[in-house]
Each structure stands twice: as structure tokens, then as C-alpha cells.
Structure 1
Amino acid sequence: MLSPLIWLPLIGALVIGLIPKLSAKQAKLGAIAVSGAVLVWTIVLMLNFDLSQPGMQMQEYHTWIPTLGISYSLAIDGLSLPLVALGSLITIVVASNSEVGLKPGEALQRPQLFYSLLLIVHSGVAGAFLAQNLLLFFLFYEVELVPFYLLILIWGGQKREYAAMKFLIYTAISGILILAAFLGIAWLGHSASFDYSDINTAVLPQKAQLILLTLLLIGFGIKTPLVPLHTWLPDAYVEASTPVAILLGGILAKLGTYGLVRFALGMFPETWKLISPGLSIIAAVSILYGALSALAQHDIKRMVAFSSIAHMGYVLLGAAALTPLAMVGAVSQMIAHGLILALLFYLVGLVESKTGTRDRDILNGLLNPIRGLPLTSALLILAAMASAGIPGLAGFVAEFLVFQGSFSTFPVQTLVAILGTGLTAVYFVILLNRTCFGKLDNYTAYYPKVKFTEYVPALVLTALIFWLGIQPTWLVRWSEQTTKALVTAAVPQVEQVAFNSVDRS
């Protein structure tokens, strides 16, 4: 049941890319059809998923290269399923409105290549979330490297060459470190293969475990990214086109946090517990740095990019705390952040395409009901509230779970994280005050109207953010059992008291 999530978009990419003289409309419809089919299949998987089981489900196993210990091994659990669903949703959002951020009347250049790369990215990311063999994971992890490089390089802004090359170098270093760690884990542990189920890191000396875990932390920390491994992110997010920025923030960053939880924590639970105080400090620094950096930005797209660094810090804080509540909050934060960041980038793209600027000091009066962008501004206000953790929205649920679960273990770091949430509200209030309110310029402010079809992706994301905020069980139910099992492996003596996710949220 899992292979279609990988091979359907890959086949679709080949068909769209290789058919000669395919029109832009036909390429777009093909990408929508393929990504829509993948989304429907993901929903089928969710309906067949057993919420009471913490382990892997729907397993597929085929021998591939036995001499190297590589198998085609796929499975899904409560950690990977929500992320697969998020990736499927983000892909169809981008495919259905890939022109967002373009100037009025401007067409998407080289559409066949764009949609082919989009589907290849989805195939690689889905494969990474599903892979149960370390080298198979690495293969899928690297599949998205070149497509994203081309997506930034071809459709990016003025400094796209610099941003694309920086992204390529950082991501390549990330892959090298992760591969080195995987090889060390299998060879030093004398594993029969690279299958996740065959790996036994408990036989490794403590020093070896610490070295291998450090390699994974740096490798996945680059992808997340965490401070001080973040410097590629502002350039890549800002120079990328709006659809590509949505993919980077909504899907790619989750590969980093997924790797931290699945492999770093999952394979070295005791060593992770040993260094968790240091990880919590890194999380607090990332949160505070990202929030303060966002506060200093005038480019609203760059501000959203720095806010992403801060919100990824909440994931690390929850994982470092090693409590059931904090862990389920960390996974929930991955999903909530993906939805909110996708909505923010989408709306920033709409504003830029209609006004021609992203400078918050130039924009004003966008809430004007006649000549402004009233619905866009209203959705931007809601997205900002969700990012700031306002109750009733998905961001609040995830952050509250992390804070409540982490405070007993790391009270100081949790208070710093709460301060970061307060700073999030500050920089978004400044943004909204300067862009949405005030008077429009009577001479220049005659903005093109936003079509309803342009609003559809934003409205879908908004509805999900609302729904997950008022029905938090739909956010946490998928990962509750899996995250409890992860915590038990790291802290077996902890009292695993079952909690009601809805009441806690």
C-alpha cells in the first residue's frame, strides 16, 4: 500500500517531463491529477491505520542488493504518517497554484520541468519518511537535493545562483555526515544489513555512540535547520519562488526533524537522554535567535523565514524533554508549523504579486475593502495569530503540549521558549500594523484583484489550521502511541501514565 506514494509521482514526473510540446496547462493538470491521486491514497492509508499500535504497519519488504545489506523496505507508523500526509497536501497546494508570487500576466517558465521536479521532490521525501533501511533512507534523502537546487536556481530571485549553491553545499555536507553515521552504526555494530530492525546500537561503546549521534545531530540539524547550522535557510527561502519556498519550509525542513527523532533519538535513546540538557539549550537559543532575527527584518518573506528557525526549535525542545506530552507536542509542532508556514509564504507571495513589493515599510492599508487586498490581509492576520500560538488554532495546541511536557524537565529553557512565543506575537503585530492598517496611497495603490481560484489553497490551509485548533485530537491521535514508545525506550523507568489528548490540549 505504500509504494504508490513513491512511484506514482515519480512516474508522473517522467511522463510530464518527457512528453514533447506539452502545454503549460496540460502539464499543470497532469501534476494536479498525480498529486491529487497521491493525496487520496494517503487518506486511504490514514483510514486503514491502527491508532492503537505504536509500531510499524503496512510493511513492504523486497530484497534489493543483499551483498550491501540494502533492501526495499517500507513501513509507516505514527511518526511518519502525519508527515506523509502533510507532504501530500503541500504538493497539491503548490501544483494547483504554482503561479503564486508571479507578476500579473507573467507565466511560469519551463512548466514541464517545474512540475516534473515538484513530483520528484514529493517522491523522494515520501520515500525518506517510509524507508526502513538506512541506505534506502539515505538514497531518498539525497533524491531531493538536485531537484531543489534546480528549483531555486531556475525560478529564484536575483541572487538565486548564490542561494542555490549555498543550499547545495550545506545539504551535501548534511548527507555526507548522515551516511558516515549510518555506515559506522552498521559496521561497528556488526549488523547483518542496514535494515532498521537489524540495527542494535546498544552493543556499541558509549564513546562510539556519542560520536555517531553527534554526526546525526549535525547532519539533520543542517536540514532542520538549527542554530548555528541555519545560515543557508534565509538565502534559500527568500530567493526561492513562493511555491518553492512553501516546499522548502513545509516539507524539506521536516526531513531534518524527522531524522532527529527517528534515527538520532530512536537509535541512541540512552545517549540522547545523556546529552538532552545540551540539546534543550540549543533549542532555546534557536527559538530566541530566530524570533529576534525575524523582529529585525523589513522583508516580510525573510521575516517568515527566520520565524521558521524559531518554530523548529520547539520540536527539538519537545524531543529533548523526553516526556510523553512533550514528544507528542514535538510531532504536532512539525505538522502545525508546516501548515502555518505554507499559508504564510502563500499569502506573502500573493501580496508581492499584487503590490510588487515585500517591504513592510512600503506596504500599508492592505485591509482597505475597496482598493486593497482585504481577504488576503484577513488571512494573513489569522496566519500570524496561528504562528504566535493564539488559542483555538493549530499552533497553540502544538506549542502548549511542548511547553507543558518540557517544563518539568527543563524549566528555564521552556521559559525562554515561551518568551520566544511572545516575541513572535511582537514581530507579527509590527508586520500587520504596518502592512494591513493605515491609509493607501491614492496615487499608486490600485492593486489587481485576487481571483477566487488564487484563494482556494489559502482557504484550505486556513480551514485545517482552524479544525486542528478546535479539534486537537485530530492532530495528536496519530502519533500518541508511537511517541510514547520512543520515550519508553529512552526513559524506561518513567511512569507512563496514559493521558487524554483532547483534555490535555
Structure 2
Amino acid sequence: MPWLTILMAVPVVGAVLVALTPKGNGKLAKQLALGVSVVVLALTIAMAVQFSPKGPRFQFVETYDWIPRFGVHYGVGVDGIALVLIALSAVLVPIVVLASWNDADAPHAKYSVKTYFALLLVLEAMMIGVFAATDIFLFYVFFEAMLIPMYFMIGSYGGAQRSYAAVKFLLYSLFGGLLMLVAVIGLYVIAGKNTFMFPELIGAIQDPTTQKWLFAGFFFAFAVKAPLWPFHTWLPDAAAQAPAGAAVLLVGVLDKVGTYGMLRFCLELFPDASKYFTPLVIVLSVVGIIYGAIVAIGQTDMKRLIAYTSISHFGFIALGVFAMTNDAGAGATLYMVNHGFSTGALFLIAGFLIARRGSPYIEDYGGVQKVTPKLAGVFLIAGLSGLSLPGLSSFVSEFMVLLGTYERYMVPAIISATGVILAAIYILWMYQRIAGGPTAEPVKEFKDLNRRELWVVAPLIALIIGLGFYPKPLLDVINPAVDHTLVSVQVEKFTPAIAEKGAGQ
């Protein structure tokens, strides 16, 4: 069964059906979009159940000639890393559809309700495609194509400065993508294999200097997409101006394409260059961790604060990727998933607050927990996950990244650990100012979470708690894929001295 093609085709067909709904019948468009996204989630679960962690590296493989003259294929397949990220996309989209029920009805919206939800479904197809592509040219096509629906979602349905934020997002991403295109063409020409298929290009470039130049083209595009400091400046504007649901997919999924690309393509296609640039990337990652956290502390806008926390989190993920140890690599992959859930919950809760108060500024709130205890409760759980409290999902992945990094790079790991302390400051201070203290006059009129909003946050809170206590199912899928990646990079498995001593005894 062509699982991956079906997973991409269903939301595209759904988007067409949503676009064809009668004008003025926004409710039907919403219901249809929700139904299609739930079908995609069900199909993703059915596919994931059939995935064998001990089987071939890439499964559910489909390969068809697309442009034979240039060796371009429609090639898709998933390993454990791609599978969990596709699952992340499939889980978040129906939640975002339900959370965005009223987003497209805003008076300032440039296009219709059905256009917004059709764009959501098209974006879902692009996100699945970018993680599933095993042909590098096809990956590039999805990498660029997914910018278009997000651009229109921000620019047509966002906040007061939506046009500026959307253009900035698009220009940054297109510039990074242009450099990657040059590197993709260079890889194709220099390899001389007349193919863009990723498995066949592993090990094709042996010259260290050539690897460095090609690595730079790929890495720059991924660093902008992630975003890694100092390529991050587009993210706070885009996340702050995007509708809450679009911000969830932007930070929760689209940005993961950057760190996924580092792990998938940079390490395996250019192993020598990856090792050469590792010190630089680790420095950028550590700076990003500290910088993002410190700047987040000083933010007055909720969504900008959450965006800056994500810059700090992406520093942890990049650190885990380039530490090149099994624990750090698996932790970085798990971090991508857990960050999507915890940060997604924070953005959605911020959206609920803004919908009630009409303001994104923290100072306009106060005493929320006295008026809306359910809203304050889920806000606290999502915030505690964002600061990696033990027992919640982000703790496991952050601990694995720091542990794996410490095995090879002790000083960067110790410095990065201070990000945990800074996270406690920006999360708890934000929560204290919004939920604690005297109740602001406008807050007294707030209503607690309604049934739709409870359906939105309940799955995320359940995943945050569940994966905090039992991450094994995901790690069982992720670990073999990370191990295979590190073998391809020819990195010896690192055994801490304490483990060697225990084995000797």
C-alpha cells in the first residue's frame, strides 16, 4: 500500500473539497477540514503500527521516475526519525484546525474562511512530503513549496503587522533555499551519478574541500529554517503576527525541517565537513540557548516570548545533532517532537487568552487563575514542560541532549545547562504575571475553557505527561535510525568511562 502517497494525497483532495464548498458556508468548510485531518491522523497511526524498528532503514518506500533525463525521482520512504516527525504533523493539524475555528472569521482577514482551512490542509501535505522525501530534489521542492501556504496564512489572517512579518519570513526562507539549491545542483554534478536519490549519494563526495562548500550551502538553509542563532530574526515577528494555529505549525513543525535537514543530510552526505564545522555549530548552539532565554525574559508580548524560548530550544536540538553521540542524537530527535507539543500548547493557550482580552501584552493580564482555573491549569502544565520539569516530556529529551553532549564536549554541556535555570525564570515569571496577582478588571469577565478548547488542549497535555513518564515507544523507533546515521558519519559509539569501569568489574 502506498502509505506516504496516500498521506499526501488525502489532505490535497481535502483542500480542493474545502475550496469548493459553497461561498458563505464557513462552518461546512471547517467541519470538512477537521474530518480530513482526522482521517490523515488515523492513516498515520495505521502506517506507524506497521513500521518495524528492526527492519530495513527506509520503509514504505516508493520510487518512480519523475524527470528521467536528470535522474529526478518521486522517491519517498521513512526511517524512525522521519516517522515520528510525520506523526507530529498528523497530530498537530487536527488540533490546530479545531483551535483555529474562529481565526479566519476575524474582520481584518483578507480571504474567506474556506481559503484558510484549505491552506491548512495543503500545508499538511507539504509537511508530510518534506519528511518523507528520499530524493533530494523532491525534498527541495517540498522545502520551498510549504512556504507558500504559511506565507498566506500569516499575511492574510495575522495581526496588525502581518504583511511585514510574512514578507520577512518568505524572503529569509527563499534566500536560504536558494543557497541550498546551488548546493543540490553542485552535489548532483560533482557526484556524477545522474541521480538525486539520497541513499545513493551517501559517500559520493570524498574531497574534503568540496564537502565543506556543499555543507555550507545545505547548512545555511537549515540554520535559517530552524532558526539557529544568528539567523533567527524572522521568527519572533512571524510567530507574533501569525494566528495562533499557524504559529503552532510554524514553530512546531516547519522549523523542525531545519534541524531534521541537519541530521539527515548534512551529517550523512558531508561527514568530514560536519566534523570540521562541529566546533562552530556547537558555539552557535550554545549562544542561541543562552541568548534566546535571556531575551525571552525581557519580552512583554506573550507570543514573542514563546518564540524566543523556541530559539533557545532549537539551540539544544542543534547541539544534540552535532554532539554526534547516540544519546544526544536520539535526544535531539525526541526534542523535536516534545517541543512541538509543549510549545504548541503554549501558543494555543496564548491564543485563547488573546481572544478573550484582545491584547498580546502580559501587563494587560493578572489574576487569571482566580477566574479561569482550567485555563490557568493547562497553562501551568504547558509552561512547566517548556522549562523541562522532570515528569514532563521535554525533560527526557533535554536531559538526553545534555548527557550525550557531556560525553564529548563537557564545557558546552555545562554552559548549556544554565539555559534550564533561565527557562524557569522566563516561564514562571510570565505565568506569575498573567495568572497570579490581583485580578485585572477586564479579566473578571473571562470565561473558562469551553468544550472545543478543552478538546484542543487535552490531547497535548496528555502527550506531554504521557511521554514524560514513558518515552520508550518513541525512543525504540528513533534509536536505530540515529545509530545508523552515526555509523554513516563514521563516528565511534562513545562509552563513558564509568560504564567501561562497570563492565570491567
Tell me the TM-score normalised to structure 1 length.
0.94
Letter in 2 for 1:327: G
CA separation in 2, counterparts of 1:68 and 1:300? 48
d(CA) in 2 for partners of 1:460, 1:104: 26
Once the two structures are overlaid, the 10-residue window that deviates more, 260-269 or 343-352, is 260-269
**Selected match of 2:293 from 259, 284, 291:** 291
Task: Describe the SS at the equivalent of 2:62.
Answer: strand
User: Aligned AA for 1:93?
Assistant: I
- Cα distance, 1:294 vs structure 2: 0.3
Q: Secondary structure at the match of 1:361?
A: helix
Matches within 5 A, 1:492-503: 492-494=491-493
Question: 2:104–2:116: 8 Å Cα contact kept in structure 1?
Answer: no
Indicate the residue corresponding to 2:457 in structure 1: 458
Partner of 1:339: 341
Task: Sort the Cα spacing of 1:108 and 1:473 in 2 relative to 1 into closer, same or farther, 3 A.
Answer: farther
The question of whether the paired residues in 2 share the 8 Å contact of 1:206 and 1:271 is answered with: yes
Deviates more, 1:18-27 or 1:202-211: 18-27
CA displacement 1:299-345 (0-9 Å, x = unmatched): 11110010000001111111111111110001000000011111000
Paired with 1:53 and 1:331, the residues of 2 have a C-alpha distance of 19
Once the two structures are overlaid, the 10-residue window that deviates more, 440-449 or 262-271, is 440-449
Q: Distance in 1 between matches of 2:11 and 2:201?
A: 30
Q: C-alpha offsets along residues 261-318 of structure 1, whole Å, 9 cap, x if unaligned?
A: 1111121123212221221111101111110110110111110010000001111111
Among candidates 205, 208, 211, match of residue 209 of structure 1: 211
Q: What amino acid is the match of 1:296? A: G
Q: In structure 2, how many angstroms separate the alpha carbons of the residues matched to 1:61 and 1:443?
A: 58
Where 1:74 maps in the other structure, the secondary structure is strand
Give the whole-Å Cα distance in 2 for the aligned partners of 1:80 and 1:103: 34
- The alignment status of 1:57 with 2:56, answered yes or no, reads no
Q: Give, in whole Å, the separation in 2 of the partners of 1:118 and 1:323.
A: 36
Q: Quick check: 2:393–2:467 contact (8 Å CA) kept in 1?
A: yes
CA distance in 1, matches of 2:106, 2:205: 61
Structure 1 counterpart of 2:408: 409
* Counterpart residue number, 2:241: 239
Quote the offset at 1:491 in angstroms: 3.3
Other structure's SS at 1:237 match: helix
* Corresponding letter in the other structure for 1:237: A
Asked if residue 148 in structure 1 is aligned to residue 150 in structure 2, the reply is yes
1:173-218 CA-to-partner distances (Å, cap 9, x unmatched) read: 1211111111111111112211112214444421110011011111
Match of 2:172 in 1: 170
The 5 Å alignment of 1:96-175 reads: 96-99=98-101, 110-175=112-177
The equivalent residue for 1:194 is 196
Contact in 2 for aligned 1:189/1:201 (Cα 8 Å): no
Residues 104 and 354 in structure 1, CA contact (< 8 A), matched pair in contact too: no
Change in 2 beyond 3 A, CA 1:113/1:78? same
Take 1:249 and 1:150, find their aligned partners in 2: how far apart are those partners? 16
Distance 2:356 2:410 in 1: 45
**Whole-angstrom CA distance in 1 between matches of 2:237 and 2:106:** 25
What is aligned with 1:397?
396
Amino acid at match of 1:457: V
The 8 Å contact of residues 205 and 211 in structure 2, kept in 1 or not, is answered as no
More divergent stretch after superposition (50-59 vs 303-312): 50-59
How far has the Cα of 1:450 moved from its partner? 2.8
Change (3 A) 1:148 1:260: same
| Number of equivalences | 495
Which segment is superposed worse, 279-288 or 443-452?
443-452
Contact 1:254 1:334 (C-alpha < 8 Å) held by counterparts = yes
**Distance across 2 between alignment mates of 1:417 and 1:253:** 21
Query: What secondary structure, in the 3-state scheme, does the structure 1 residue paired with 2:363 have?
Result: coil
Shift of 1:72: 0.9
1:85-104 deviations in Å (ceiling 9; x for gaps): 00011111111221366899
Distance in 2 (CA, whole Å) between partners of 1:496 and 1:447 is 55
Tell me how far apart the structure 1 counterparts of residues 79 and 146 of structure 2 sit (CA, whole Å): 22
SS at match of 1:482: helix
1:76 is matched with which residue? 78
Deviations 1:430-461 (A, max 9, x none): 11111111121357621234312112111110
Q: How far off its partner does 1:367 sit?
A: 0.6
RMSD: 2.0
- Partners of 2:23 and 2:125 lie apart in 1 by 24
Tell me, yes or no, if the aligned pair for 2:407 and 2:494 is still in contact at 8 Å: no
Deviates more, 1:356-365 or 1:167-176: 356-365
Partners of 2:494 and 2:342 in 1: CA distance: 34
Opposite residue 309 of structure 1, the aligned amino acid is I
Tell me how far apart the structure 1 counterparts of residues 327 and 202 of structure 2 sit (CA, whole Å): 27
Q: Is 2:283 aligned against 1:281?
A: yes
Match of 1:503 in 2: none
* Structure 1 Cα separation of the partners of residues 225 and 443 of structure 2: 41
Query: Structure 2: any 5+ residue segments left out of the alignment?
Result: 500-505
Structure 2 contact 135–196 (Cα < 8 Å) conserved: yes
Q: Which amino acid aligns with 1:211?
A: W
Unmatched tracts of structure 1, length 5 or more:
501-505
Q: Distance in 1 between matches of 2:276 and 2:217?
A: 16
2:180/2:217 contact within 8 Å kept = yes
SS where residue 255 of structure 2 aligns?
helix
Change (3 A) 1:356 1:22: closer
The change in CA–CA distance for 1:264 and 1:442 in structure 2 (over 3 A counts) is: closer
Residues 234, 305 of structure 1: 8 Å contact kept:
yes
Distance 2:22 2:105 in 1: 27
Contact preservation (8 Å) 1:222, 1:229: yes
Instruction: Specify the SS of the correspondent of 1:79.
Output: helix
**Residue 226 (str. 1) matches residue 225 (str. 2):** no
Report the counterpart of residue 420 of structure 2 in structure 1: 421
Alpha-carbon spacing, 1:350–1:140, altered in 2? closer, same or farther (3 Å): same
Q: Which residue of structure 1 aligns with residue 93 of structure 2?
A: 91
**What SS does the aligned partner of 1:478 have?**
helix
State the AA in 2 paired with 1:482: A
Q: d(CA) in 2 for partners of 1:73 and 1:158?
A: 41
Distance 1:134 1:442, change over 3 A: closer
Match of 1:445 in 2: 444
Q: Match of 2:352, as an amino acid?
A: L
For residue 484 of structure 2, what is the aligned residue in structure 1? 485
Distance apart, 1:357 and its partner CA? 2.0
Aligned equivalents of 2:199, 2:402: Cα separation in 1:
32
Please say if residues 64 and 74 of structure 2, whose CA atoms lie closer than 8 Å, have aligned partners that are also in contact: yes
Q: Which residue of 1 is the match for residue 474 of structure 2?
A: 475
Find the aligned partners of 1:151 and 1:481 in 2 and give their Cα distance.
Answer: 37
Q: Is the 8 A contact 2:369 2:436 kept in 1?
A: yes
Cα offsets for 1:130-155 (capped at 9, x unmatched) = 11111111111111111111111110
Partners of 1:102 and 1:298 lie apart in 2 by 26
Q: Does the 8 Å contact 1:291/1:310 carry over to 2?
A: yes
Report the Cα distance in structure 1 between the residues aligned to 2:286 and 2:442, rounded to whole angstroms. Answer: 46
Q: Could you list the per-position Cα deviations for residues 215-270 of structure 1 after superposition, in whole angstroms to 9, with x for gaps in the alignment? A: 11110100000111111101000011111111101111111111111111121123
